[in-house]
Structure 1
Amino acid sequence: MIKKISFAACCSLFCWPFYVSANESVSHEFDWSARTRYADFSGEEDARAASLLLRLNLDSKWSENIETHLQLDNVNRAFKNEHSDGVDLNGNPVIPDAEGFDLNQAYVALNYDSVKFQLGRQRINLDDQRFIGGNGFWQNEQTFDAALTNIKFLSNSQFTYAYIGNVNRIFGDQADNNLSPGDEGYESWDGARPAAMLGDHKHHTHIAQLNYNEWDYSQIIAYAYAIDNKTQPTASNNTFGANYNFTYKADVLKYRVRIESALQKQPELNDSPLLTYYLLDANIGVNRFEFNGRYEVLSNKEGVNFITPLASLHDFQGASNLVQNYAAHGIKDSSIGITWRATPFKIESQYHQFRSYTSNDYLAQELDVTLSYRPNRKHVVSLLLAYFKPEFSASEESSTSKLYLDYAYNF
């Protein structure tokens, strides 16, 4: 299921190298990686899945200034009748590791001292990916058909701008406009896949970020995202924000603090309210341990939620990805965490308590634990356990447990 890439990007990738002088040295570097996964969900509805991602990379350097990158992915899965993958909707819980062959990245890069330009299908991971990211946890990551410019200035600062024409989402190209007759919801949706479940979203989106990093301990990032989603207009928004980061190490102690605020309007809505986002994140590291406290608020006004549709959503508000089912009136996420590191092992834990933004009522709680083993650069084994329980229900049957066991190999 090779995704369509823009004509301009294809021309850039396959025609530009022929303009390189015969005297220029040309080099190619090939590598591959693999990631296997077993996922098991237990709750009101059970599900399980197994998948294998094979990834091939070809990096070519055509001259001192011109490079190309080609990345091909293939995902296969098992236990197909025991889960939905976001493409096949059989009524079981969704584990969105969609199957198929994918042109994941294909771009040309021009490098000129402090300026870099990339055209084509590419990753765009800005800052911590809270607003723009690749959802790389899933086997089929999110990439962007875009033109991106990165400009470095002063000693360690940079400005990034990108125009996005298409978002290649984690469901893949097989999640097209038409449902299969056997899919759940086929009749109620008249055979048409809802826009939120499509594998491709057409965009006319502009994103810009300024990263000012000229101090020893402080960093300021300001951003403006004009997201114009033509396929799903309700996901369009104009978001403006900034964050301040402080990092300091004194002997055995290490401190990290992040403060962030953003404003958002959703132009597709008449008289769209001005929505707010706040974050306070504090970390203290002592030897092998790191302690974290985090408070994040996504507001709601007049029935409209603050949204982050292009974020790496799995990385925020709990690894179970379930709290959004209860967040119709905004969300307040209070969490604490502990991380322990001793090479090659790492253990992370995070406890979340979720409240409604408008009423301050308890919504749910969640505990996530991740165990990682990385003996060297090539091999990584990780186990993620997530336990989610709605606060309003005392019944254990209403809770959900999720397990992800991954093994990754990097050539």
Structure 2
Amino acid sequence: MHIYFSFKSAIFNFFHLTNENRHCTSSAGVIALLMSLSVQAANVNETIEDGLQFGEQGKYGQVKFDLRYRYENVNTSDNSPVKTAHANTLRLRAGYLTPEFHNVQIYAEYEGNLAMQEDYNSLRNGLTQYEVVADPQEQELNQFWLSYKGLSGTLIKGGRQRIELDNERFIGNDDWRQMEQTFDSVLISNQSVENLTLNFIYIGQIHSVISTRHLVSMPVFNFSYKFGRFSTLTGYGYWLADHEDAINSTQTYGVRLHGEPKLKHDIQLSYDVGYSNQADYKNNPGNYALDRYLIILGAQYVGITLKSGMEQLNGNDIYAFQTPLGTKHDFQGWADKFLVTPGAGVRDIQASIDKSFYGVKFMFAYHYFTDSKGNGEYGNEYDFLVTKHFGKHYQLLAKYAYYDADNSQAAINAGVEKDTQKIWVQGSVNF
């Protein structure tokens, strides 16, 4: 009701201004309307923010919520017997964060996804006649953790929690999906040394994006060190023992160096280079060691950002370098054709350009995929994005991905021989 009267008041003010000043241009009246609506919207946001806090400035804790609607369409080659997927879903996260008491804080969060149109294979609903959209209609306790900050420069957090390490290539929450990935784990993060962050983690169970549980034993070590303003060095060791799928049991070591140095004349460069090695571990039946290489270079000028480079995950035709716990949608194209690396590996040669106009971001990305030796072609992918943020709480997004499969034996062997088109329309509210 408050929102309705605020909007009504804004409209009344607009007509009042135009009636009182008939000699003013219509554009001035429109500007007045937009300014009035902007003020009213800011007041509404402030009212909501205050309402979600208990006591002054959250003295007794605060409520957090995230509401996201999405339509997703997935279509493969015309001769495919699998039907086109249409998914209309609405995801809600709602949580309560306590105030700090003797350096202790607790957070509990519910997550639920409603399938308003379930013409898709969620990997949980049995509708295998449709293409896959991995957003099942499920609900769960998404997070429930306790943290302690009583030691100087140290955070200790235990329970079910979101973990996003580095660029999330190896460990992330995979937040593109409606139900995010969280971890039953203990985390110790130390920042006692200036510019250095040390993370020690033990993960015992994974809650996947399709709301299933997976038992693992995984010690994690990760550090980041900032050199001045423009460079960050990251090193890591991940020891994953998968008790339910032995082929995922791997030990991975690597380094990453990235930064965004500024030059004269408003030119800013960027670089992201990395190397990793992955080998079998614990109950894995294989005996192998494989490499991953990354080099992405970029430049920004007058608001236009250009990037180009390559990521390569090697394979030996039986085993391949895998990242089962990473936020994989952010890598190797939005069509998600390489969520599992083919046995022959994958080389992703890529380029992207993005630019914002009047607060609307436009982005185009191109990917050329081959096996890790560069001999067998998999295909090309074209990705487009348009997104707009309205303040810090609201976002609209439209996204498109087209994977153009190569008619080759390599693509068939890798299971990526089908042309694939994906369309997304999304709106979200987050407080």
Inter-partner Cα distance in structure 2 for 1:273 and 1:398: 30
- Equivalent of residue 96 in structure 1, options 134, 137, 156: 134
The answer to whether residue 215 in structure 2 is matched with residue 202 in structure 1 is: yes
2:279 counterpart of 1:241: no
Per the alignment, in what secondary structure is the counterpart of residue 154 of structure 1?
coil
Give the aligned partner of residue 16 of structure 1. Answer: none
Distance 2:306 2:173 in 1: 27
1:254 correspondence with 2:268? yes
Distance 1:356 1:384, change over 3 A: same
Give the corresponding residue for 2:46.
Answer: none
1:136 paired residue number: 175
C-alpha distance in 1 between matches for 2:367 and 2:202:
35
How many Å separate the matches in 1 of 2:340 and 2:145?
37
Matched, 1:220 2:233: yes
Do the aligned residues in 1 keep the contact of 2:89 with 2:113 (CA within 8 Å)? yes
- The alpha carbon displacement at 1:398 in A equals 4.3
Indicate how the Cα distance of structure 1 residues 324 and 204 shifts in structure 2: closer, same or farther if over 3 A, else same. Answer: closer
User: Following superposition of structure 1 onto structure 2, how do residues 69-80 of structure 1 map, counting pairs within 5 Å?
Assistant: 69-80=107-118
State the match for 1:192 in structure 2. Answer: none
Q: When the two structures are superposed, what TM-score results if normalisation uses the length of structure 2?
A: 0.80
**Alpha-carbon spacing, 1:325–1:68, altered in 2? closer, same or farther (3 Å):** closer
Is 1:272 paired with 2:287?
Answer: yes
Letter in structure 2 aligned against 1:399: D
Q: How far off is 1:27 after superposition?
A: 2.1
User: What displacement does 1:238 show?
Assistant: 0.1
Letter matched to residue 30 of structure 1: V
Find out whether 1:55 has 2:98 as its counterpart: no
- The residue that corresponds to 1:87 in the other structure is 124
Equivalent residue in structure 1 for 2:165, among 107, 126, 130? 126
Tell me which structure has the larger Cα radius of gyration.
2
| Distance in 1 separating the partners of 2:309 and 2:146 | 39
By how many angstroms is 1:64 displaced? Answer: 4.2
Contact persistence 2:247–2:286 (CA under 8 A) = no
* 1:335-383 Cα deviation digits (max 9, x unpaired): 0000112352111111000001145221111011111011211110001
The reply on whether 1:410 has 2:415 as its aligned counterpart is no
Partner of residue 11, structure 1: none
Structure 2: how far apart are the matches of 1:386 and 1:201?
A: 30
Deviation of 1:205 after TM superposition, in Å, equals: 0.5
Whether the aligned pair in 2 keeps the contact of 1:298 and 1:306 (CA below 8 Å) is: yes
Question: Which residue type is aligned with residue 156 of structure 2?
Answer: F
> Aligned partners of 1:119, 1:323: CA distance in 2, in Å?
32
Aligned match of 2:386: 371
What is the number of residues matched between the two proteins? Answer: 358
Counterpart Cα distance in 2 of 1:324 and 1:217: 31
Tell me which protein shows more strand as a share of its residues: 1
Q: Which of 56, 69, 73 lines up with 1:36 in the alignment?
A: 69
Asked if the contact 2:154/2:192 (under 8 Å) is kept, the reply is no
Let me know the Cα RMSD of the aligned residues: 1.9
Could you say if the C-alpha distance between residues 326 and 152 of structure 1 is closer, same or farther in structure 2, counting changes exceeding 3 Å? closer
Matched residues in 2 for 1:216 and 1:28: separation?
A: 35
Q: Does the Cα contact within 8 Å between 1:155 and 1:214 map onto a contact in 2? A: no
| Cα deviation code 1:5-61 (max 9, x no counterpart) | xxxxxxxxxxxxxxxxxxxx9621113220000011222341111000111121102
The 3 A distance-change label for structure 1 pair 110 and 334 is same
CA distance in 1, matches of 2:239, 2:196: 22
Q: Which amino acid aligns with 2:222?
A: Q
Q: Relative to structure 1, is the Cα distance of residues 73 and 273 closer, same or farther in structure 2, using a 3 angstrom cutoff?
A: same
Supply the distance in 2 between the matched residues of 1:236 and 1:358 (Cα, whole angstroms). 24
Unaligned runs of 5+ in 1: 1-24, 173-198
Letter in 1 for 2:144: A
User: Are 1:321 and 2:358 counterparts?
Assistant: no
Amino acid at match of 1:404: W
Q: Classify the secondary structure of the residue corresponding to 2:261.
A: strand
Aligned to 1:22: none
Corresponding residue for residue 106 of structure 1: 144
**Does the CA-based 8 Å contact 1:370-1:383 persist in structure 2?**
yes
Between 1:218-227 and 1:40-49, the stretch displaced more is: 40-49
Contact 1:372 1:382 in 2 (8 A): yes
Give the match's secondary structure for 1:89.
Answer: coil
Q: Secondary structure at the match of 1:328?
A: coil
Which one-letter code corresponds to 2:217 in the other structure?
A: H
Query: 1:212 touches 1:221 (CA, 8 Å); kept in 2?
Result: yes
**Within the alignment, does 1:68 sit opposite 2:97 as a pair?**
no
1:265 is matched by which residue type in structure 2?
A
Counterpart for residue 19 of structure 2: none
When normalised by structure 1's length, the TM-score is 0.83
Higher relative contact order (CA 8 A, sep 6+): 1
| Residue deviations 1:190-244 (CA, integer Å, cap 9, x gap) | xxxxxxxxx1110111111011114232211000000111121111100000011
Q: Secondary structure at the match of 1:374?
A: strand
Q: Cα distance, 1:288 vs. partner?
A: 1.2
Give SS of 2:191's match. Answer: strand
- Give the drift of 1:70: 1.1
How far has the Cα of 1:78 moved from its partner? 2.5
Contact 2:317 2:343 (8 Å CA) reproduced? no
- Quick one: distance in 2 between partners of 1:402 and 1:213? 38
Q: 1:410 to 1:158 in 2, by over 3 A?
A: same
- Say which is worse superposed, 334-343 or 115-124, in terms of deviation: 334-343
Structure 1 residues 106, 167: CA separation in 2 closer, same or farther (over 3 Å shift)? same
The 5-angstrom pairing of residues 110-189 of structure 1 reads 110-112=148-150, 113-172=152-211
Which structure has more helix as a fraction of its residues? 2
Partners of 1:106 and 1:122 within 8 A in 2: yes
